[in-house]
Chains A and B, each alone.
Chain A
Amino acid sequence: MSTANDTTPLPGERVSLLRELGKYFSIFRIQAANRLAYPLDLVIGSLSILMFMWIFLQLWKATYASAGQTTIAGFSIPATLWYLMISETVVLSRPRLWRPISESVKDGSIAYVLNKPYNFLLYHASMGLGDGLLATLFNLILGGALVWLLVGPPPAASGWLYASLAIFFAWWIEFCFSALIGLAAFATEEVAAFDWIYSKILFIFGGLLVPLDFYPAWLQTIARFTPFAYTVYGPARLFVAPSLPAFLSLIGQQLIWLVVMGSIVVVVYRIGVRRLVINGG
């Protein structure tokens, strides 16, 4: 028995929610399986991180030597390299979903998706997650192996667990930005330039090429007010200095940004769909 105000889901509703989630999980699984069918592509696609890490080692070895210091802002050379390995992994594996989203808006194929029994944004998120998970995994394995070889093991084993979860939530914040760039096609034809500029802002405020701790204090303050500090810097810093309080604090901040960005994406999507005009068929 239940009343109108009872919020406990009925058994049928529970099944329906599971079926709903299962639908997106299937999309994710199929996309991941598609990518796994070409393991060589995944390996070649992850070669960039090897090149970057090797260049970073040369750069930071020379920089530490020029500065005459063994630690800078609390980072030793190995800690800096491990930090950069995680920050590069986050950025190299970030979703580039703005491309398919903007294409489907521009060529009108979004119309075919709107009447399908799935959500347009969640469909793309599931596809992107299938790609992103494998790219992250391969970047972590190849990049981690090289950095381990060059500067020794990471500071603490627990960093792997904490950072993995933080990378997962960072991916979703990244997805929100990528979706917003793609949805900008509702208003303007060419959206690639938005992604170029966005990615460089992410580099700077996210601390991709250098930990935020190396920045002047005023720039660190600005960066920490942006979501980028919690998508790139956060997981990478957590990896080299893992602790439960730091982990909980980061996840909390990531969730706040996820709610903010997710709400903006939903609103923009609804406005865009309302304005959508498609000619022909």
Chain B
Amino acid sequence: MLKREFVFFLALWKANLLSAMEYRAAFISQVVGMFLNNGVYFIFWVIFFERFKQVNGWGLSDMFLLFGVVAAGFGLANYFFGNTMALADIITSGRLDYYLSLPRPVLPHVLASRSIPSGLGDFVYGVASFLFAGQLTLEAFARFMLGSLLAMVMFLAFMVLVQSLAFWLGNAQLLTQQAINAMVTFSIYPITLFDRTAKFLLFTVIPAAFMGALPAEYIRAPSLARLLVLLAGAGIFLGLALVVFQLGLRRYESGSAIQVQL
């Protein structure tokens, strides 16, 4: 059964890629544009650490690693599950009808039905940033990929969790925007800046630590305990997201609008 779903996902991703290739210039401009966008943003940290060297034990190479894993995780989520940030809009506009009428698991089908090309730019930048961090071994790269995948899972889970509120609240788009801002912003700052209360919030209410600081720590200094914490965090939030989405789906209702799926 898993194989069948995997083949289905491959077909979706292939269709997304073929569709993007119809607008090749736009695709390339988004990928390259996002890569440059991240690069220019990172100049801030280069200037910052050029002047201050270290802040609470964090230096420039730690920032390369942290930014790399967050960018790669965020990029993977947006490229392979491009509706991740549009779920609330899809729910409120009644566009779930299309997915409900098909014999496939609704949530993964919705999420993977679209690819955002700029996600690829984020991912490539993430890899480049990892290389700049100086951890040039195959083992470190394998840990980076694993960390990025877990960061992706955490981002997906948090997005689904927040946007499933649209089943109860109706319009949750502004909330979604703020949730994205919070998750990404908190994940790209050194966790050592924050006090205990803030850290508690970053592991629970806005689980940005699971998307940035923890995977980065695991890549830099691997241990079984760190890996288990990462896996447990991703597993718990993903489980919670699936449950809340399913509960919300029972409340889902739509009008009789005709939807066209392109």
Contact = CB atoms under 8 A, between A and B. Distances in A.
B211 to A, nearest CB: 15
B40 A200 contact: yes
> Which of B34, B37, B175, B185 neighbours the largest number of chain A CB atoms within 10 Å of its CB?
B37
A67 B40 CA distance: 26
A192 B25 contact: no
B26 A219 contact: no
A192 B30 contact: yes
B57 to A, nearest CB: 9
B23 A193 contact: no
B178 interface: yes
Interface string A121-162: 000000000000000000000000000000000000000000
A210 to B, nearest CB: 6
B55 A63 contact: yes
Interface in A171-193: 188-190, 192-193
A48 B47 contact: no
A194 B37 CA distance: 9
A271 interface: no
Interface in A186-245: 188-190, 192-194, 196-197, 199-201, 203-204, 209-210, 214-216, 219
Interface stretch (A18-26, A52-60, A96-104): A52-60
Contacts of A189: 23, 25-26
B182 interface: yes
Given A59-B189, A190-B30, A192-B33, A66 B44 contact: no
A210 B52 CA distance: 12
Given A62-B193, A201-B40, A193 B186 contact: no
Contact of A44 (B55, B56, B174): B174
A33 interface: no
Contact of B175 (A44, A62, A196): A44
Interface residues of B, number: 37
A188 B29 contact: yes
> Which of B30, B34, B50, B56 neighbours the largest number of chain A CB atoms within 10 Å of its CB?
B56
A229 to B, nearest CB: 15
A147 to B, nearest CB: 17
A41 interface: yes
Nearest to A190: B26
B182 A51 contact: yes
A45 B189 CA distance: 22
Interface string B14-41: 0000000001011001101110110011
B254 interface: no
A47 interface: yes
B178 A47 contact: yes
A52 B185 contact: yes
Interface in B89-128: 118
A51 B201 CA distance: 13
Contacts of B43: 204
Given A59-B55, A59-B189, A203-B41, A193 B181 contact: no
B40 A193 contact: no
A55 B40 contact: no
A219 B198 contact: no
A210 B44 contact: yes
A203 B44 CA distance: 8
Contacts of B44: 203-204, 209-210
B37 A210 contact: no
A142 B101 CA distance: 45
B40 A58 contact: no
A215 B50 CA distance: 9
Contacts of B33: 192-194, 196-197
B178 A44 contact: yes
A118 to B, nearest CB: 30
A155 to B, nearest CB: 23
Contact of B55 (A45, A62, A192, A200): A62
Interface in B162-195: 174-175, 177-178, 181-182, 185-186, 189, 192-195
Contacts of A197: 33, 36-37, 40
B36 A67 contact: no
Contacts of B48: 210
B56 A188 contact: no
A193 B55 contact: no
B55 A66 contact: yes
B51 interface: yes
> Which of B34, B36, B41 neighbours the largest number of chain A CB atoms within 10 Å of its CB?
B41
Given A58-B194, A203-B40, A216-B47, 6 more contacts: A51-B186, A52-B185, A59-B193, A192-B33, A194-B33, A200-B37
24 contacts: A47-B178, A48-B178, A52-B185, A55-B185, A55-B193, A58-B193, A58-B198, A59-B189, A59-B193, A66-B52, A188-B29, A189-B23, A192-B118, A193-B36, A193-B37, A194-B33, A196-B37, A197-B37, A200-B37, A200-B40, A203-B40, A203-B44, A210-B47, A210-B48
